[in-house]
Amino acid sequence: MVPRIGLAVSTIGRPALTELLTTLAGSTVLPAAVAVANQSGRPLDLPSDLPYRLVVVESTGGISRGRNAAAAALAGEVDVIGFPNDDTLYEAGCLGRVADAFTEDTDVVACALVEDGRPRFELPPSGLLDRISIWRAIEPATFVRSTTFHRFGGFREDMGTGCPSPWQSGEGTDLFLKVIESGGVVRSRPDIHVTGRGERRDLDADQLVAKHRGYARGTGYVYRSHRYPFWVRARIVAAPWLRLRQLDPSVRLATRLALARSLGRVEGLLGRVLRSRPTPRRGAR
């Protein structure tokens, strides 16, 4: 039997959400239902003539809480849940291929998130993901069996973008690691593409550095929570400096980003935020 696919979307009200919902109407396999967690603080103006059920729930507290609320609204209606961003797009055949990928023993299917024509992360060609390769999976391009998602309690709401904690990423990897560590199956399917819009660069340098540090804290916290060995922890702290030229064309900004990532990962590994030195007052000796 073909599994019923549902989508759980958390949004802050971006106009791109309308494009996601309307393009889904052209899928060769339609979603059984789409649930939108509205974290914009205002009513959403969404299409009403869609060939699938659309439900909107109100939410606050960050992307993990929003996705959990949306997934709860799909309970009993779907067998598999995807977690697109509000500006994600699916090719017409994507959901059909995802449905075919869910064999009886599969808990999670990790697809390729393609941005500007290239995958953001290179997944293994095929087979199962493990505690090392799982870091190449990313939530907007990943689908989870509904029973598996609810068995593990969904995403940790103290992790992820917008959550009320320092750990501003890592909620998806944390969940996928729980599946792997319990003996579950996470399949790599880089041949199935999900389209992303890429990282937004409408931030000034200070905002961008702060964003990277928050994300890095979440990364380090996952490595701490899942007890990775010391040599792996040391490697992730050093890694930003080995890819300095990839961070930004500006050497100054790239250096700031590398430092933010390294310090953020250290903070996550320690489980606490390091205090910044106060800026000396003008005229102070």
User: pLDDT at residue 284 above 50?
Assistant: no
Average pLDDT, integer, range 28-54? 96
User: pLDDT at residue 278 above 60?
Assistant: no
- Of all residues in the chain, the percent with pLDDT exceeding 70 is 96
Contacts for 175 with CB less than 8 Å, ≥ 6 apart:
144, 149, 152, 154, 155, 156
Average pLDDT, integer, range 261-272? 98
Average pLDDT, integer, range 145-152? 98
Residue 285 confidence class, pLDDT cut points 50, 70, 90: very low
User: pLDDT at residue 33 above 80?
Assistant: yes
The three-state secondary structure class of 129 is coil
Average pLDDT, the chain: 94
| Of the options 3.90.550.10, 3.30.470.10, 1.25.40.10, 2.130.10.10, the CATH number for the domain spanning 5-195 | 3.90.550.10
d(Cα 234, Cα 242) in Å, to the nearest integer? 13
Give the pLDDT confidence score for residue 275 in this predicted structure: 83
d(Cα 235, Cα 239) in Å, to the nearest integer? 6
Q: Tens of pLDDT along 193-229?
A: 999 987 766 789 999 999 999 999 999 999 999 999 9
**In contact, 172 and 155? CB cutoff 8 Å:** yes
User: pLDDT at residue 244 above 90?
Assistant: yes
Residue 39 confidence class, pLDDT cut points 50, 70, 90: very high
Instruction: Please report the sign of the dihedral spanned by the C-alpha atoms of residue 216, residue 218, residue 219, residue 221.
Output: positive
User: pLDDT at residue 279 above 70?
Assistant: no
Domain ranges in the chain are 5-195, 205-270
User: pLDDT at residue 282 above 70?
Assistant: no
Give the pLDDT confidence score for residue 198 in this predicted structure: 76
- Of all residues in the chain, the percent with pLDDT exceeding 90 is 90
φ, ψ of residue 177 in degrees (nearest 5): -65, -40
Q: Tens of pLDDT along 74-122?
A: 999 999 999 999 999 999 999 999 999 998 899 999 999 999 889 999 9
